[in-house]
Structure 1
Amino acid sequence: MANVLDKIVADKKIELIERKSKRPLESFKHQAIPTNRDFYKALAAPGTQFILECKKASPSKGLIREPFDLAEITRVYKNYASCISVLTDEKYFQGSFDYLEFVRSQVEQPLICKDFFIDEYQIYLARIYGGDAILLMLSVLDDTQYQSLEKVAKSLNMAILTEVSNEAEVHRALALNAQIIGINNRDLRDLSTNLATTEALRKLIPDNKVVISESGIYTHQDVKRLAPLCNGFLIGSSLMAERDLERACRSVILGENKVCGLTRSQDAIAAYESGAVYGGLIFAPKSPRFVDLDCAKQVMQSAPLAYVGVFVNATIADVVNHAQSLKLAAVQLHGQEDAVYINELRPLLPSNCQIWKAQAVKDSLPAPVNGVDRHLYDTHSDTQAGGTGKTFDWAILKETKQPFMLAGGLNPENIQGALYQGAHGLDLNSGVEQSAGKKCPNKLNDAFISIRKY
């Protein structure tokens, strides 16, 4: 990557010669007025902040998002981002200053212009197109260059995200009195990412600095791992690679949470508006939250959740019929279904339908079931499968290495304790109800507010 970085910077110099000849700095410098959007303040606010990035392509991944619909991207990002990053490098990232201008017109958040800054010309250009902050990479700039560019940025009230990727660069950033330090988890030599980079370098940075972790953030577990160390995250490629951007943002920021036992359209709407990714439909006739196919279809039409069908010792034919007719995202098996059952079921399901296996937990974790995509751990009951309203001892979850969902008595009061157990998502049911099968919008909202408090 060092050679790639050298090539990018060399090409950037050529690009700037061409830009300056076509549009001299003197022709637009007077248009650059100080910004009134405070990038630093947005990131220094209490809690974990997110810089979400508009990125079409990259040298390491090639084309990432096609079509690159900025209207769609900004429509989603404005609901989740503290700040928004826009790539403007054309040759290697297929970016554009026009993208920056468009995003500026669509959102109220501060914007960072993401480019390889080596010349004051670029800063003025970034400002007139709507940038409120710039990225200065210490892997690209020496201290004198940095200070020169910093002076111009400050004259325009623009913030600086100072990027570091090793210990030497951290010491330089501190000597330069950088206020916002971005730790790049990507190894510039081989393009690999390692979140341990943030863990190692953060120890060198005083607490009065704003610290952002960049690159390699793919899951909510990644976020929860590093959130205690950082003020926030810059996330781009992992979001841009996902077709369903709304779901991708929810998954990484809130987790892949499910509201189960949906029986009414208004409850599905409330679950979606609160921030859920999944909606659970229970097809077990003995459950007080049982729905038939017609009711399930009505619920599904009301909100664009990914729907999971819950079955208890149902026939394989019945499970397959529901999965196919409802286009379920997953089937959740809540009975005594074993590996033989699962192996027979798997090839009959649509290829994009996952199998989740719910397992009742009493004093220890049951042995994992082979052949499933995800386990769901729920509180053991002698009388019912799920929906007990009771929790189990979460400490035993440390034993598992399997992807899992956590269920069992989760409610707005205890959900904070559930957030750091390593689950891919939380499964909410009776703890957010006013009565069996009827969700309480206020409890749902309170639960997801608690989920976002980190």
Structure 2
Amino acid sequence: MSILMKIIEDKRKDLKHMGYSHGVEIPEKRRVPIVSVKQNPLIICEIKRTSPSKGTIKADIDPVKQAEKYIKKGARAVSVLTEKRYFSGSLRDLMLIKNRFPNIPVLRKDFILKAEEVDISYRAGADAILLIASILSLKELYKIYRRARRYKMDVLFEVHSEEDIKKAYDIKPEIIGINSRNLEDFSIDLFNPLKLKKLINWKATTIFESGIKGCEDALFALSSGFHGLLIGEAVVKNPALIEDIVSIYKRPISNFWERLFKKDERPLVKICGITRTKDVHYLEKKGVDAMGFIFAPSPRMTNSNFLKNIGEINAVKVAVITPDSLSDKNLKKETEIIIEENLVDAVQLHGFPPSFRLSNKLLMPYYNALRVKGLNDIKNIALYNSQRVLIDAFDTHSAGGTGKSIPDEIIYESSKITPLWVAGGIGVNNIKTIIKRFKPELVDASSSLEKSPGIKDHSKLDNFFEEIKNAKATH
């Protein structure tokens, strides 16, 4: 039996033996105002003592003092775990917090199974309830949802799968929470919410749930197009993190990840080392997903003025930077300009160690690129904090654009660790084989599609995209 099914089984037993209030004395009438959780910034921080996946998080937590810390740091809503057996929560925690902070919205987070639990939640002071699609039938979901909305309570309708989205479609809830946690084994996949979000075809406020450990994860969620965040363990242990996350909301946020993953029909294609406007326009016509602009020592190096002249395009714009980009005075200035003025959608950190972090001043959507010499190097993929790692061929004299290919064995082993993003000697002659053999999520090409460094060959580009199309057709 999965963890989830065990929790639900025990919850049914508790409802039968202790009633809908779980033995907690609840006021006959609600005593506090209803406040919507749809605040700005939409950051919901959780009161949680324990969990099945993490064990004890903070057993001696004072719910009121913890909520006060959240609010002072910038949280606009509080989520309270009220499940007792596995999360050491209680409706008492919820009532204490709401009575102390009546104008702060409070979400009751529990495994709600019956409409009568909504009545209890309302009287206890909850402004919103969590409704988990995967544990209830459509009929049960609709009944509970309607009951909550009659009370003018918000409903955070939580989904984990395409099946859950199908249930949500019939109800069309106003607030959708997409959980990165697999409720069967409690593992985390931050890309799951991004993939499911594309299936929501009605107007809804979307909230990214679980897996937010720091600013970089928060930035990933927001640049995936989510309106808000539900954060648990990380803020329980470190409430100061809230201030840093609030600061992200205050700056323009590129929707890099959302735009990059808008299509599924073929591998994502990035063409790097672009230096001419005419190549930008041509690649736009070909439907390229990402364009790379180099801000590091290279014959393909460009500048901020070039990006300003390009303006808005359909493909995402990626600035490729190396350690030299931050150590050289002039390059550092250019790097700061393109990030601070939002001239690119993301940065590719090429050749940086796993321990490197962008400063808060330069923080924006990013991924790492690892130059691999041999099989031992691919172990470093797991050390990076970025959601994807591009592997590229190593060259002693150049960081990229060498035309060197990565041995098949290294590509294959890398694909076992993470969805494959691959560069290095990719061109017309081998792209079809690479797609069929390794099924990459993204391919990155540069020098093999040029007449000379930085000058793209349109005939080669035509053949390259035709080969991709043929590879998909025979896949």
Tell me whether 1:109 sits opposite 2:87 in the alignment.
no
Distance 1:70 1:362, change over 3 A: same
Tell me whether 1:64 sits opposite 2:65 in the alignment.
no
Distance 1:214 1:21, change over 3 A: closer
Tell me whether 1:139 sits opposite 2:120 in the alignment.
no
Indicate the residue corresponding to 2:69 in structure 1: 76
Listed one character per residue, the Cα deviations across residues 105-159 of structure 1 (whole Å, up to 9, x for unaligned) are: 3333211101110122322222222101111111111011112212221222111
Indicate the residue corresponding to 1:398 in structure 2: 349
Distance 1:366 1:176, change over 3 A: closer
Which of residues 235, 238, 243 is equivalent to 2:234?
A: 238
- Contact 2:3/2:184 (8 A) holds in 1: no
Aligned length: 293
In 1: Cα distance, 2:2 partner to 2:326 partner: 48
Indicate the residue corresponding to 2:390 in structure 1: none
In 1: Cα distance, 2:226 partner to 2:175 partner: 11
- What SS does the aligned partner of 2:19 have? helix
Which of residues 36, 45, 49 is equivalent to 1:52?
A: 45
Indicate the residue corresponding to 2:120 in structure 1: 125
- Contact 1:377/1:406 (8 A) holds in 2: no
- TM-score w.r.t. length of structure 1: 0.56
Indicate the residue corresponding to 1:356 in structure 2: none
Distance 1:98 1:30, change over 3 A: closer
Indicate the residue corresponding to 1:214 in structure 2: 209
Question: Deviation of residue 406 (structure 1)?
Answer: 4.7
How large is the RMSD of aligned CA atoms in angstroms?
A: 3.6
Structure 2, unmatched stretches of 5+, are 251-294, 299-320, 369-384, 386-475
- Contact 2:21/2:117 (8 A) holds in 1: no
Query: What amino acid maps onto 2:183 in structure 1?
Result: L
Question: Deviation of residue 392 (structure 1)?
Answer: 6.9
Identity %: 25
In 1: Cα distance, 2:366 partner to 2:213 partner: 18
- Contact 2:50/2:59 (8 A) holds in 1: no
Residues 43-442 of structure 1 mapped to structure 2, 5 A cutoff = 45=40, 49-79=42-72, 80-107=74-101, 108-206=103-201, 208-228=203-223, 229-240=225-236, 242=237, 244-246=238-240, 248-254=241-247, 363=297, 377=326, 380=329, 391=336, 398-402=349-353, 403-406=355-358, 419-420=364-365
Which of residues 37, 48, 67 is equivalent to 2:35?
A: 37
- What SS does the aligned partner of 1:139 have? helix
Indicate the residue corresponding to 1:17 in structure 2: 16
In 1: Cα distance, 2:175 partner to 2:169 partner: 10
Distance 1:362 1:401, change over 3 A: closer
In 2: Cα distance, 1:172 partner to 1:96 partner: 29
In 1: Cα distance, 2:57 partner to 2:23 partner: 33
In 2: Cα distance, 1:66 partner to 1:199 partner: 33
In 2: Cα distance, 1:8 partner to 1:146 partner: 18
In 2: Cα distance, 1:390 partner to 1:172 partner: 46
Query: What amino acid maps onto 2:349 in structure 1?
Result: K
Question: Deviation of residue 254 (structure 1)?
Answer: 3.7
Distance 1:125 1:55, change over 3 A: same
Distance 1:392 1:89, change over 3 A: same
Indicate the residue corresponding to 2:281 in structure 1: none
In 2: Cα distance, 1:137 partner to 1:182 partner: 9
Question: Deviation of residue 33 (structure 1)?
Answer: 7.2
In 2: Cα distance, 1:227 partner to 1:16 partner: 37
- Contact 1:87/1:113 (8 A) holds in 2: yes
Query: What amino acid maps onto 2:199 in structure 1?
Result: L
Listed one character per residue, the Cα deviations across residues 134-188 of structure 1 (whole Å, up to 9, x for unaligned) are: 1111111101111221222122211111111001111211211211111111112
- What SS does the aligned partner of 1:245 have? coil
Distance 1:81 1:366, change over 3 A: closer
- Contact 1:377/1:405 (8 A) holds in 2: no
Question: Deviation of residue 253 (structure 1)?
Answer: 4.3
